[in-house]
Homo-oligomer: A and B are copies of this chain.
Amino acid sequence: MQTQSFTSVAQQFKAVFLDSYGVLKNYNGLIEGVQHTIELLRKKNITLRILTNDASRSQHQQMESFHMIGLRDIQEHEIITSGMMAKQFLEQKILDGKIAYLGPENSAYYILQSGLEHIPVRDVDLENLDEISAFVFLDDEGFDWNTDINKTINLLRHKNLPVIVANSDKFYPVSKNDVAVAAGGIAKLVENMLNKKFIHFGKPDSQMFMYAYDQLNASGTFSKNEILMVGDTLQADILGGNKFGLKTMLVLSGNTSAEEAELQINATGIFPDYVCESVVS
C-alpha cells in the first residue's frame, strides 16, 4: 500500500475535515505530534473542521476536552458532532410530549435541551405511554444498559415512536486492540429484535458534512473539491466523504491498520483518494 505525506497532500486544499478518534487522538490521548500538524494547517490558512461521531458531549465539552489533552486552539464552532445533528432533528421534528432515552444522564442533558421534557427509559411507566413522543439512543460509553435494554425493547413493542440513534457507530475503542459495544450497536440489536429501522445520525450520512460545508460557505467560497476529508474508517469517513463529493484520505493510525487497508478497500469497494500513515506524516 503506497502512502503519502499528510502535510504535503493537505496543502493542496483550502479546507480539511478531520475525524477525531483514530486521527487526532486515540485511547492514549492526543496522538504525538498532532499539535504541530494543527499549527501547520493554521499557518497555511487551511480552514479545519473536526467531524466526530460522538454524541456523549456538547460542542463546548468537546472543545474543553481537546484543550485538556493539549490542542489548545481548537474553537467551539470548529467541532461538529453527530449529537448536534440528533439534537437539531429533535428540535425540528418533535414538538410535544416527552422524549424517552437510553443512555447516561450527562449526555442526555446536552442533547435533549429542545424544550421538551425528557425521561430515562428506566423511569418510564410502561402502562402509561401516552405522553412519550420519541425515543433516543444516546451515546453510552461506560453505561450499563443490561436492564434498560429490555425495558427499551418493551417500550418500543408497546408504542410506535420515532426512534433516533444519536451516534451510529457500533463500537468504540477502549485500548490498542480492544473495543466495546456503542449506542449504534445496541440500537442495531433492538432494530433486529423489533424488525424496524431507526433514524441514525453520524457519518457516513451527509448531515455533518452538509453542516460543515454550509458553515464554511457562510464566510467564503469553497468548492467541494477544495476540501479534504481525513479519517480512519472506510465505512464512515471515506464513504461519507466520497458520497458528499469531497476528496478523501484514509489514515492508518486508527481503525484501519496498514496490514488490512488494501484488503478492506478491495473488500468494500470504498476507495480513498489518498492514504497516509497518520496526520503526523
Contacts and interface: CB of A to CB of B under 8 A. Distances in A.
Interface of A: 88-89, 92-93, 126, 144-146, 149-150, 153-154, 157-158, 160-163, 170-171, 174, 177-181, 185-186, 188-189, 192-193, 196-199, 205-207, 210, 214, 224-225, 239, 242-245, 265-271, 273
Of listed A197, A225, A243, residue having the most chain B CB within 10 A: A243
A148 to B, nearest CB: 10
A192 B193 CA distance: 12
Contact of A185 (B92, B189, B243): B189
A147 to B, nearest CB: 8
Counting every copy of the chain, the complex holds 4
Contacts of A171: 153, 193
A206 B199 contact: no
A198 B270 CA distance: 8
A37 to B, nearest CB: 25
Top 3 closest A-B pairs, CB basis? A206-B206, A146-B146, A160-B266
A154 B175 CA distance: 11
Nearest to A143: B146
A196 B245 contact: no
Contact of A196 (B189, B193, B268): B268
Contacts of A162: 242, 269-271
A87 to B, nearest CB: 11
A192 B199 contact: no
Contacts of A180: 150, 153
B185 A157 contact: no
Contacts of A214: 214
A178 B243 contact: no
Contacts of A199: 239, 242-243
A84 to B, nearest CB: 12
A203 to B, nearest CB: 12
A270 B146 CA distance: 27
A93 to B, nearest CB: 6
A245 B188 contact: no
A150 B205 contact: no
B206 A92 contact: no
A17 to B, nearest CB: 15
B153 A181 contact: yes
Contacts of A174: 150
A206 B126 CA distance: 35
A193 B210 CA distance: 28
Contact of A161 (B145, B192, B224, B269): B269
